[in-house]
Structure 1
């Protein structure tokens, strides 16, 4: 599937999300507002690398000799974050001046911070939770040139070069108010500090200048054995043999970024099929909607604030940026100091050098033979009386799981 070129026109999230917010709005006013938003909400994506560059990215020892000139060219073409955000805020402000009802919640809010009493209770559940901090990419670090090329090809480059501190109290309030939000187009109108803000997959994509592509829902079902082989430089050919030491050095760094920025978790050493497929998709640009992926994760988190209170809050930087993309949210007396500046991702020279990989290609007949041999060994040990029933059950369950994975 071929993605739309970076120079193609990006969708205007302001027009689509706000244009459907109120049926009482006069048609002429709404049409003019949408046209105005389309004219003003623009993003200048960086140049797209050549196919030859992309194809070499999975190699463990990819050459970076010619990266200097291309990196300088890319940096010159990146549109500064504040320039984009100022233009977007001006567009939203003009839209809201013409349509002030877009800012007003449908029901009187409990306070300037919470839409309902239930939102306040959810905020209290979130109060002690820590955050999964965002990681950023330094464009001038030549050691990360290969990482930059993969991310640039995937269309996610602005999601790692845009960096902001976040206001912990504001982020928690935003999440706490989501269950009481009003429906707006493909997203929501969320109550934040006295008025509503837009929140939708399309707004996230526009904010990060992610080009529009035809979404391929099958990326989540990519053959995991093939994914492991690709990301490990063909040292591992089976999922059950995959460990954190086997991805190449480039893919080790990409896995860290996936764990912090795109499918957040604090467990960056345990291999996860969805995260590995995400990296594979980045190389092959299999048409994905990142805005939708992030949006759904945030909604799921907002619906479970009373469960597993040790879980960290994900996407704090993205949430802060969603607000800054529309208006500045000044702190109040209840706010904590701004914190959580994104960390800078680095390469670990010792990573990606795992040795001892012994992974044959999947073969059902071989798996069955190994399972039979293991069961025979268990029977012999049971007859000798030196093998407990519990140990036998655990061993058999492990063999069955291995058989299911290979099948």
Structure 2
């Protein structure tokens, strides 16, 4: 029988009061399923090197060595104090975006980011090309496939702020994160670490508030597409910077 999150004992031996829509799977179970996703679809590649498809990707990798990474946030479903937040996340099927957060290998992450822009089929990692698409992300994160994803970027900011602050703030002017209702303050931390990581700029904060509003309203959002677009935008940015660096280097050598 498939266990669900509402059947997991918390620290006091009690049970959750809500019925989860997501079956509970252990980290080991998910690892095995992830391997099955890529089995038979991972293709070896030759050429420039096992780690990079070309010199340009190598340059991007070197530039990434000076950067750190945001550590993904996680929630413990056994913590009764987080029940309201976890219920919101679980209701849209995003439970595994905040579970089983384990240490990662920065070198592998850098390889992925530096190589993904140079292969339409996926990312070269340690001599093999791994498929990368919104569908693959949804499979790995066990998030639902959404046929028509809600356009959360079009959410009216004032409406989002009014809802998330319980009416304490009616718009961006005068707003600060401390005005968010208690469960939404935790949800914001999840959003900035697991869903929309990046600098704490006004633009990014507005994006997070819009996404949070859509999540709290249980709107159907394609999580795979959300992550995919961020990764592709980031890799294009690094690729562009790499090209500029190479052009400047060539010009300096000519001078």
TM exceeding 0.5: yes
Aligned to 2:122, the other structure's residue is in SS state strand
Aligned to 1:170, the other structure's residue is in SS state helix
Q: Is the 8 A contact 1:132 1:266 kept in 2?
A: no
- Quick one: distance in 2 between partners of 1:90 and 1:166? 20
1:145 aligns with 2:83: yes
- Quick one: distance in 2 between partners of 1:299 and 1:45? 36
Note closer, same or farther for the CA distance 1:303–1:251 as it changes in structure 2 (3 Å cut).
same
Gaps of 5+ in 1: 1-43, 49-67, 97-101, 310-407
**C-alpha deviation, 1:271, in angstroms:** 7.4
Compute the RMSD of aligned alpha carbons.
2.8
Q: Is the 8 A contact 1:243 1:270 kept in 2?
A: no
Q: Paired residue for 1:87? A: 33
1:298 aligns with 2:214: no
Q: Paired residue for 2:222? A: 289
Tell which structure's C-alpha radius of gyration is larger.
1
**C-alpha deviation, 1:306, in angstroms:** 6.1
Aligned counterpart for 1:104 among listed residues 44, 60, 76: 44
Q: Paired residue for 2:60? A: 122
Matches within 5 A, 1:2-401: 46=4, 68-70=14-16, 77-90=23-36, 92-93=38-39, 95-96=40-41, 103-105=43-45, 108-181=46-119, 183=120, 188-267=121-200, 272-305=205-238
- Quick one: distance in 2 between partners of 1:121 and 1:151? 39
TM-score by length of 1: 0.53
Note closer, same or farther for the CA distance 1:214–1:158 as it changes in structure 2 (3 Å cut).
same
Gaps of 5+ in 2: 7-13, 243-255
* Residue correspondences, number: 234
Q: Paired residue for 1:370? A: none
TM-score by length of 2: 0.82
**C-alpha deviation, 1:47, in angstroms:** 6.8
1:169-217: per-residue Cα shift (whole Å, max 9, x none)?
1110111111211x3xxxx321110111111111111111112233344
1:47-87: per-residue Cα shift (whole Å, max 9, x none)?
79xxxxxxxxxxxxxxxxxxx4226975x941112213213
- Quick one: distance in 2 between partners of 1:236 and 1:46? 37
